[in-house]
Structure 1
Amino acid sequence: MAKTVKKKAPQGFLKYIKWFWILFVSGIALFALLFLSASWGLFGELPPYEYLENPQTNLASQIVSSDGELLGKFYLDDNRTDVTYDELPENLVNTLIASEDIRFREHSGIDARGTLRAAFYLGKRGGASTITQQLARQLFVGVRSRNKLETIQQKLKEWVLATRLERSYTKEEIIAMYLNIYDFGNNADGIRSASRIYFGKEPKDLKVEESAMLVGMLQNSSLFNPLRREEITLKKRNIVLGQLARYDYITEQERDSLQALKMDINFNPESHREGLATYFRMYLQRFMKGWIDKNPKPAREGERDRYNLYLDGLKIYTTIDSRMQLNAEEAVTEHMERLQAEFFVQNTKERNPTTPFLDLTPEETNGIMERAMKTSERWRKMKDAGKSEKEIRESFTKKTEMTVFDWKSDTREKDTILTPLDSIRYYKTFLRASMMSMEPQSGHVKAWVGGVDYKHFQYDNVIQGARQAGSTFKPFVYAAAIDQLRLSPCETLPDTQYCIEAGKHGNLEPWCPRNSDFKYSGKDMTLKYALANSVNTVTAQLIDKVGPKSVVSIVKNLGFTNEILPVPAIALGTELVNVYEMVGAYGAFANQGVYVKPVMVTRIEDKNGAVLYEYVPETKDVLSKEVSYAMVDLMKGVTQGGSGTRLRHNYNRNNTVYKEVMTGYPYELSNPIAGKTGTTQNNSDGWFMGMVPNLVTGVWVGGEERSVHFKNIAYGQGATMALPIWGLYMKKNYANEELGISTDDFEKPENMSIETDCAKFNEGQQKDVDLEEDLEDLDF
């Protein structure tokens, strides 16, 4: 039987096999050693496990409106607001995986096939970084070094950190973290900011082609920037759409139709100077800083002991209604654009050689300009930089390129060349405006507009500015008189010159106020008529009867904080007040005599949803229900037969001298409205306070300087300067029934002892007269 002879392998072949396995095992050992070395921190310190389990990223604080809309954010460098995986649309997740890491759900942080492919082809057929590795780089490693040795070390770190992240988080959490951490440019930090800034929507509402554009930006958001490099960004988006079709997330037909679409960018920049409620947001910033100073952060190891408004991701719930805020801002813009155009017509150099100022000497004008120059930001910065006064003054006379506000431009800006001193005078020519709207029963502030344009006029005239109240102060005098003397709105007083002798109420000289038209009818008039037509002589008689101290006492209880001298002149609104306090005070009239301090913040939460603050209403009983209703009835007369009656008309049809300003304002409001106009000396300030049962709104319009004003009262009165803003605002509110703004009458208290029906009041007066005559005829 023949024996089977085994053939021996050639010695040379065995040698090659031996060295192959030696090199293979050595390579794996070397890779393992490098991996272990990286994990041991030999190539640089790695973050501890505790940090991996809770990576710290800077989160912007969010400002939330009462109707659930995002009003804005507070942030320094990172405008980031995290979203959960459940808030991401499926098409965005699919696009990310198809474009960046198709085997994402299969690997444990490192894609072996991708790594081998990248190594074999030297990266020419794509890189090997998984989504998890990219997240590790974003969170812990940083920008890729240009040094090859450092690049290898960074890559090893990414591998180690990626595997650790995979052990600490689910795949869904890793996707959400990655999209939340990425900087998409233009202050779009994270997917939520990117969705809102580039498309004006939340991530969950993104379309497939929109998701593809954002995923394309992940490679390089500076290069693929849709605002600066539209064409290259479009090509990148279409490549991503091709990846979706390649891996069967969409059909080829869908790919072709989507690639044919243009990029529909809806750019909504999120900055502190742009967007909705800018003035309110700046007030809120001051409020939050004060709150943070008084509320230390619970002590936790490794964390700050104070909350940081710009980094801690606080959620601030406000009373502002985004819909009403938009209505308010639109109303201010629409009216002020027209009013300003008329102001420019009346204040040309030909009509007014000292424009924009009126009734000032050259010395007084120079004083205003000097003060403005010394309080300017330019002066402050140059002084802080150590510049001499001579150098600073010279800089104000050198022409320079600048961007200034301009009503005529679509962007409200224009580029020009002016000296800084000329720019100061230029800005003095613009009228300013402010308004605040509040729910009187709760004190919730629904709208806040501090000026016409925050970017160029950063002074907030709602709460920072204080101006004379004019006739809008008179209701407080009437309230004191009705409260103390139980007067009816139907009581009559004569319209004759009236003087209060010196020293009677602390006044140093006799006080004899005149009516605005310098005329006296000599007739008896009801309080209702006198208030509606701002008759000064009647107001003087009332404050003489009750005394200034009682008026001061009432307004202090209604929230006024400035020192008010108890002298008769306050009856005509000589004291400085702001819109914020005026709205709060008028709110008590609509709220049956109960003052509720205006509130803007209802709740503050930390980034985890824990409640840090909840407001407690501050209220005070100031007037009785009867007195409050009598005051409301008095002020209803303003819109029934006084300076506010234009709210009842259509000025498209009935315009007269106001046609340039009033045309296009078809108010025609028929529901019960209480209100009061106000105009100060020389037409420097125009006011309107308007009320319906569940909304009180105050409007002020005027120049930055009191010497900037209309020459005649036709345009300079509150009924022309301020009232139209209120009318436009309310028309817009009523057009949206969801807002629930009342069209009902004010609630009348039961068993009302103060008669507001003048027919019944006169009938009662006549009966009293008849009774007195009968008593005189009796012979005792």
Structure 2
Amino acid sequence: MQKKQAKLTPQDIKRYNGYIWKTIIGCLIFVVLLITLTAFGALGPLPGFQYIENPKSNLASQIISSDKQVLGTYYIQNRSPVTYKDLSPNVVNALVATEDSRFYEHSGIDFQRIPSIILHNLLGSQQGGSTITQQLAKNLFNGGGSHNFFVRITQKLKEQIIAVRLERHYTKEEILTMYLNTVDFGAYNTFGIKSAARTYFNTTPDKLTPDQAALLIGMLNAPGIYSPINHPNRALGRRNLVLDRMKKENYLSAGQLEEFKAKPLGLDFTRIDHNEGLAQYFRAVLKKEIVKIMADKSIAKPDGTPYDLDRDGLKIYTTIDATMQGYAEQAQREYMRTLQAQFNDHWHGHSLWKEIPTFKGLIDTGMRRSDRWRELKSDGKSDDEIRENFNTPDTLNLFTWHGNIDTVMKPVDSIVYCKLLLRNSLMSMDPTTGYIKAWVGGINFEHFKYDQVKDGSRQVGSTAKPFTYSVAIDEAYSPCLQVDNVPDTNYTVTPAWCPRSGKDETHAGMLTLTQALAFSQNWITAHIMKEVTPLPVVELIKKMGVNSPNLQPYPSICIGSFDATVFDMTGAYSVFANHGVWTQPTFLLRIEDKNGNVLYTNHTRVKQAMNEQTAYVMTHMLKGVVDIPGATGGRLRWKYHFTNPIGGKTGTTQNNSDGWFIGITPQLVTGVWTGCEDRAIHFRTERLGEGANTALPIFALYMKQVYANPALGVKMNVDFAPPKNGVSISLDCDQYNQQTKDTKEVDKKLEF
């Protein structure tokens, strides 16, 4: 027999209601107390007013070219900020519709969603409950959400207080912009809407269409789960859900909804990292230079802490022209692919181990300098164990001129492969301003990070000859002076010195100085060095900006026995094209902080290195290197069909280890070097290894593209301007010869 339930009396109901109200009021008091304690920092510090006015986030520093292109960024997080006017309305609409439909109505906390927030957190979910302003507070000030329930409740309270403060200090547009600048879009460290637009669609935030915006906004809840690269079907479904919400909030019509939902993802994925994009070598050199400048000049933030290039969103303005940089890199790719094939064919069937005595030592050194050796050494492996590892096949990623490849081979064989790769570098500058327009420091930054423009010194070969002739011209030697091309041993030094000159490269008989330079004749150059002596030549070279530790006053420097960088040599040749004035090669213009305040402005150094008339005569002689039939630079005319005023000098070092060409025009001076990593590895014949074959073609391909683009302002019909006071030295050798016939004793320094 069931027991009867007792009826609740009015007193019981009243008592229970009292309990309920006391519980509710107690909870409210507890929440208010918690909020009050949080607001006063009892549960942990909150950002102050100044911090909210200047919220910290990891902003990528941008490297900006002279034609206003972003060459690349330095970053911990690949994030570049935008302003509200840079945002497409589609992005804003997709964000508001999906994340916070009442965004424009609340003041940081949407009280209508409080039950939802509590429910989400009780269920262990940290998504869907917060307003956009609260999410921004979390991103900027509160770090990642904790998995501990009680800690997360404290964090939520802080986010609400910070959100209210953000709403008081910023407009809705500013909050939306800040939020879109902070969020994570997944792939390859992509943060912020600007980086996301470029990474996934190769566009800018202001050009995002509704379907593109919906895809990106849809990723925000879980960039990994909704990645269009790794999970395209999930991403498509999520994108369409965002489009549905945009329709629900009246941002899209029914017709537009169906149109955009029917579209494929339409990705134009562009991987962005430090090894991608234009001018990778230049960007690496630039970063080291900026760090040095900041330290040397004590440039710091208002609070005294140093600037961080990877986090502080600096804007770095450079002289590099993105278009010309692209042309230079394209010219390198195009010709080096051909030249490497020549090199491989040239060595096919020959044993490097037998024909290069030092080859075994070079490979051993290459192993010891490799990352693999260092890693194995740090793991405690012995040298014998490491060598065994190098002789064990492994899967390796190799650079080729047809793209990177994964292959199985012995690591030691990969060292051999890399040693046989020809390297190349190029620098192009405006001789008047000193502004460097293009910088190609190597063949592939991902695999070979050593910069060959500014950091790599190589023997300069015959590109040094114009320095000796410049001293002679300055001492009143005529470019038309004829010298018998025979050995002239210099007995003023010990031991006596005379350079060699191969049978095939020697032009016998009497040659003018202009012809001797054009044909790159060693004996006549050595004769002129004997006449002018080495010390004035060394002094001139240094005035022209070449800083080389092995540049000593020895006769052999006339044929380029010293080492120098492409950076210094290109800057030196700019003196010829710039009326004898050396203008410091410059690649950095100024640095600004994220707010546009100028932190540093570069001032280019300028000095008169050479007599203006001497410089002009040298441009005439360097044009002879291109114009005189049979001259070393002649293929610019007969093969590449240049018709404009252009000069230059080829350079080939002993055993064809280095090939150079430095070309001059009135508006551009460009230096190119080619060679293997080790000088012992090289072409075995001068026909293939000379600078005219290894370096000049890259200059030609680059300049052809430059001249073909009128927007660059580099004109073909411009010649080198003569000195303002005229030229007293005769450049017409017929006139010179006629006048010397009437002179009983011809003064070798005769000038007109």
TM-score by length of 1: 0.89
Which structure 2 residues correspond to residues 732-771 of structure 1 after superposition, within 5 A? Answer: 732-743=705-716, 744-749=718-723, 750-768=725-743
- The residue type equivalent to 1:586 in the other structure is Y
| 1:142-164 residue CA offsets vs partner (Å, 9 max, x unmatched) | 33333333333332222222112
The answer to whether residue 239 in structure 2 is matched with residue 237 in structure 1 is yes
Mapped to 2, the partners of 1:458 and 1:378 lie a distance apart of 16
Q: 2:218 aligns with which of 206, 212, 216?
A: 216
Mapped to 1, the partners of 2:22 and 2:624 lie a distance apart of 102
Contact 2:84 2:174 in 1 (8 A): yes
- The residue type equivalent to 2:136 in the other structure is L
The answer to whether residue 517 in structure 2 is matched with residue 531 in structure 1 is yes
Mapped to 2, the partners of 1:510 and 1:736 lie a distance apart of 52
| 1:663-713 residue CA offsets vs partner (Å, 9 max, x unmatched) | xxxx32111101111111221111111011010000011111122222222
Report what 1:113 is aligned to: 112
Cα displacement (A) at 1:29: 4.2
| 1:302-343 residue CA offsets vs partner (Å, 9 max, x unmatched) | x45322222222221111111111111110010001111121
Report what 1:473 is aligned to: 464
Q: 2:568 aligns with which of 575, 581, 586?
A: 581
Report what 1:702 is aligned to: 675
Cα displacement (A) at 1:220: 1.2
TM-score by length of 2: 0.92
Q: 1:549 aligns with which of 521, 524, 535?
A: 535
Mapped to 1, the partners of 2:506 and 2:234 lie a distance apart of 76
The answer to whether residue 369 in structure 2 is matched with residue 375 in structure 1 is yes
Mapped to 1, the partners of 2:139 and 2:603 lie a distance apart of 43
Mapped to 2, the partners of 1:514 and 1:299 lie a distance apart of 60
- The residue type equivalent to 1:673 in the other structure is I
Mapped to 2, the partners of 1:545 and 1:201 lie a distance apart of 63
Mapped to 2, the partners of 1:276 and 1:181 lie a distance apart of 26
Contact 1:471 1:678 in 2 (8 A): yes
Cα displacement (A) at 1:518: 5.3
The answer to whether residue 185 in structure 2 is matched with residue 184 in structure 1 is yes
Cα displacement (A) at 1:367: 1.7
Mapped to 2, the partners of 1:648 and 1:109 lie a distance apart of 71
The answer to whether residue 308 in structure 2 is matched with residue 317 in structure 1 is no
Mapped to 1, the partners of 2:175 and 2:21 lie a distance apart of 37
Gaps of at least 5 residues in structure 1 are 1-9, 651-666, 773-780
Q: 1:685 aligns with which of 644, 658, 663?
A: 658
The answer to whether residue 632 in structure 2 is matched with residue 643 in structure 1 is yes
Mapped to 2, the partners of 1:335 and 1:298 lie a distance apart of 45
The answer to whether residue 456 in structure 2 is matched with residue 459 in structure 1 is no
Mapped to 1, the partners of 2:505 and 2:155 lie a distance apart of 87
Cα displacement (A) at 1:435: 0.6
- The residue type equivalent to 1:727 in the other structure is A
Report what 1:668 is aligned to: 641
Mapped to 2, the partners of 1:201 and 1:180 lie a distance apart of 16
Cα displacement (A) at 1:602: 1.0
Which structure 2 residues correspond to residues 548-627 of structure 1 after superposition, within 5 A? Answer: 548-563=534-549, 564-627=551-614
Q: Aligned in 2, Cα 1:204/1:681: closer, same or farther, shift over 3 Å?
A: same
Contact 2:300 2:307 in 1 (8 A): no
Cα displacement (A) at 1:37: 3.6
Report what 1:494 is aligned to: 484
Cα displacement (A) at 1:120: 7.8
Report what 2:689 is aligned to: 716
Mapped to 2, the partners of 1:608 and 1:299 lie a distance apart of 12
Contact 1:184 1:217 in 2 (8 A): yes
Q: Secondary structure at the match of 2:71?
A: strand
Q: 2:202 aligns with which of 200, 203, 211?
A: 200
- The residue type equivalent to 1:67 in the other structure is D
| 1:37-60 residue CA offsets vs partner (Å, 9 max, x unmatched) | 432344444333332232211222
- The residue type equivalent to 1:398 in the other structure is T
Q: 2:704 aligns with which of 727, 731, 750?
A: 731
Q: How many residues align?
A: 730
Cα displacement (A) at 1:425: 1.0
Cα displacement (A) at 1:134: 0.9
The answer to whether residue 498 in structure 2 is matched with residue 509 in structure 1 is no
Cα displacement (A) at 1:11: 9.2
Report what 1:342 is aligned to: 342
Contact 1:111 1:128 in 2 (8 A): no
Mapped to 2, the partners of 1:120 and 1:382 lie a distance apart of 53
Cα displacement (A) at 1:109: 0.8
Q: Secondary structure at the match of 2:292?
A: helix
| 1:209-248 residue CA offsets vs partner (Å, 9 max, x unmatched) | 2211111111111211122112211221121122212211
Mapped to 1, the partners of 2:692 and 2:746 lie a distance apart of 44
Mapped to 1, the partners of 2:737 and 2:432 lie a distance apart of 34
Q: Aligned in 2, Cα 1:469/1:125: closer, same or farther, shift over 3 Å?
A: closer
Mapped to 1, the partners of 2:113 and 2:206 lie a distance apart of 31
Quick check: 704-713 or 619-628, which moved more? 704-713
Mapped to 2, the partners of 1:702 and 1:39 lie a distance apart of 67
Report what 1:281 is aligned to: 283
- Equivalent pairs: percent with the same residue? 43
Mapped to 2, the partners of 1:17 and 1:614 lie a distance apart of 74
Mapped to 2, the partners of 1:770 and 1:713 lie a distance apart of 40
Q: Secondary structure at the match of 1:273?
A: coil
Contact 2:507 2:521 in 1 (8 A): no
Q: Aligned in 2, Cα 1:522/1:299: closer, same or farther, shift over 3 Å?
A: closer
Report what 2:5 is aligned to: none
Mapped to 2, the partners of 1:106 and 1:299 lie a distance apart of 38
Contact 2:138 2:144 in 1 (8 A): yes
Quick check: 390-399 or 172-181, which moved more? 390-399
Report what 1:5 is aligned to: none
Q: Aligned in 2, Cα 1:608/1:436: closer, same or farther, shift over 3 Å?
A: same
Q: Aligned in 2, Cα 1:548/1:155: closer, same or farther, shift over 3 Å?
A: same
Q: Aligned in 2, Cα 1:229/1:405: closer, same or farther, shift over 3 Å?
A: same
Q: Aligned in 2, Cα 1:767/1:59: closer, same or farther, shift over 3 Å?
A: same
Contact 1:693 1:746 in 2 (8 A): yes
Quick check: 429-438 or 338-347, which moved more? 338-347
Q: Aligned in 2, Cα 1:629/1:248: closer, same or farther, shift over 3 Å?
A: same
Quick check: 253-262 or 377-386, which moved more? 377-386
Cα displacement (A) at 1:488: 2.5
Mapped to 2, the partners of 1:695 and 1:120 lie a distance apart of 68
Contact 2:126 2:145 in 1 (8 A): no
- The residue type equivalent to 1:555 in the other structure is I
Contact 2:313 2:593 in 1 (8 A): yes
Mapped to 1, the partners of 2:356 and 2:20 lie a distance apart of 98
Report what 1:91 is aligned to: 90
- The residue type equivalent to 1:139 in the other structure is L
Q: Secondary structure at the match of 2:78?
A: coil
Gaps of at least 5 residues in structure 2 are 1-9, 748-752
Cα displacement (A) at 1:445: 0.8
Mapped to 1, the partners of 2:330 and 2:153 lie a distance apart of 57
- The residue type equivalent to 1:392 in the other structure is I
The answer to whether residue 389 in structure 2 is matched with residue 395 in structure 1 is yes
Cα displacement (A) at 1:116: 3.8
Cα displacement (A) at 1:386: 4.5
Q: Aligned in 2, Cα 1:384/1:561: closer, same or farther, shift over 3 Å?
A: farther
Report what 1:174 is aligned to: 175
Q: Secondary structure at the match of 1:432?
A: strand
Report what 1:366 is aligned to: 360
Mapped to 1, the partners of 2:383 and 2:687 lie a distance apart of 44
